[in-house]
Amino acid sequence: MALADTTEAAERMALVLTQGGLQKATARVLAALLFADSDSVTAPQLAEGLGISSGSVSGAIKMLSTVGLIEKVPAPGSRREHYRLREGAWATLMSAQNSTVQAMFEAADQGIAATGADAPAARRLAEMRDFYGFMFRELPALVERWQAERSRC
């Protein structure tokens, strides 16, 4: 049955997302939105479909909205809140992860300040700082390159 197949694929997707750091309920909500047959989905539909509590759905929606992965659908009539995956969500997510890169850069930089430039640790910290500094500069450019390439098609 086709539905079973997509459910299984969605659960596999949720597993991957979990390994990427999302909690289980959140990952399943995101996967459900990815695999949804309609343009948007309501919270009760998610709770029902996934067999989780409304509280879990609420928490998942809050988290995914904060990160910018999903959004409320403007007003498809005037019914209750509908949610859907945002356009360009993945690029947004990658940009968000760039703040982790920034944190690594800053931690290394502060480390150098704390050790003094001639300590043995300084060389190690400098390599770290330079690497994450490079990535922090270049990753946004990479994402932009993707967006440019995409809009060209």
Partner DNA sequence: TCAAACTTTCAAAAATCTCTGAAAGTTCTG
Partner DNA sequence: CAGAACTTTCAGAGATTTTTGAAAGTTTGA
Residues that bind a copy of itself (CB under 8 A): 2, 5-6, 8-10, 12-13, 16-17, 19-21, 34-39, 85, 87, 90-91, 94, 100, 103-104, 106-108, 110-111, 113-116, 119-121, 124-125, 127-128, 130-132, 134-135, 138-139, 142, 145-146, 149-150
Minimum CB separation of residue 35 from DNA in Å reads 18
Contact 54, 47 (CB under 8 A): yes
In the complex, least distance from residue 107 CB atom to a copy of itself, rounded to whole angstroms: 4
Query: Minimal distance in Å, beta carbon 79 to DNA?
Result: 6
| Structure-token pair, residue 85 | 């995956």
Q: Name the phi and psi angles at 72, rounded to 5.
A: -70, 140
Q: Which is nearer to DNA, 47 or 108 (CB)?
A: 47
How many helices (H) and strands (E) in the chain?
6, 3
Q: Closest CB to DNA among 44 and 140?
A: 44
Residue 114: alpha-carbon gap to chain centroid: 33
CA distances from 20 to 26, 97, 116 (A): 12, 11, 36
Distances in whole angstroms, Cα of residue 75 to Cα of each of 29, 40, 48, 78, 81 = 21, 11, 22, 5, 8
**C-beta of 38 vs 53, nearer to a copy of itself:** 38
Chain positions contacting DNA, by CB under 7 A = 23-26, 42-44, 51-59, 61-62, 78-81
Shortest distance (Å) from residue 131 CB to DNA? 25
Which amino acid, one-letter code, is at 116? G
Query: Is the sign of the CA dihedral 31, 47, 40, 70 positive or negative?
Result: negative
Closest distance of CB 2 from a copy of itself, Å: 8
Comparing CB distances to a copy of itself, the nearer of 59 and 106 is 106
Nearer to DNA, 82 or 129 (CB): 82
